[in-house]
Amino acid sequence: MQVVENKTSEYPVGILWNMGSKYFREMMLKIAIMEDVIQVRIYDLKDKCADFVLDCYKGDKEAYDGGYIYEKIESMKVNNNQIVAFVFKIDNPTYKTDSNGKLQCIEARSVKQRIRDEYASKIDGYFFDNLIHISDDLEEMQRTLQVLNKYKDYGIADYVRKGYQSIMEKGEAEGEKQEKRTYIELLKGLRDEEYEK
């Protein structure tokens, strides 16, 4: 494995899937301790959860091999269709080349693995990758962001760190403007299950 250094910044896009909703607040606090979270948006996908997952992995041949993506969707059929999308900033990221020759951000992969390691055993019905998704290369980041923007009207709460512009496009939630909150207010709402149906 060759490690490549980069002196710029990386902006991975992540998703906490609905299976971990009980731990959304905890996971977002841990991610914010590990990296610099600059935007968080809560989505209620309603009956579009399966479509959203399929869109996230469109073009990812490995995700479709052997029916993996459909097993993942089946494992995510729960009463709660809310997800938490987030963007964080990594200064001076490092990269390794994967088996397909793509450069993957080591720090982004580390955040994803740490959350999986800590929470997978706490999730009833855990199936690999139905807890957290984080883009670790530029192509995956762009694809994930496109999907989040496609479903922007399902956004129900938003936080953008002061001094940064929104990376995810704003949408209208059922005809009303999404409420902009501080990070603490957004996390408090997750703890108090304010966003649940």
The pLDDT tens digits for 34-90 are: 999 999 999 999 999 999 999 998 877 777 777 778 888 888 887 789 999 999 999
Tokens of 99: 């088996």
Q: Is the pLDDT of residue 172 over 70?
A: no
Model pTM score: 0.88
User: Residue 21: which H helix or E strand, with range?
Assistant: none
Instruction: Report the alpha-carbon distance of residue 40 to residue 158 in Å, rounded.
Output: 6
Closest C-alpha among 10, 38, 42 to residue 160: 38
Pick the CATH number of 3-191 from 3.40.50.880, 3.40.50.300, 3.30.70.141, 3.90.1580.10: 3.30.70.141
Q: Is the pLDDT of residue 5 over 70?
A: no
Please write the tens of the pLDDT for every residue from 87-131: 999 998 999 988 878 889 999 999 999 999 999 999 887 877 789
Q: Over pLDDT 70: what percentage of the chain?
A: 88
Q: Is the pLDDT of residue 33 over 60?
A: yes
Domain ranges of the chain: 3-191
Q: Are strands 179-180 and 155-160 parallel, antiparallel or unpaired?
A: parallel
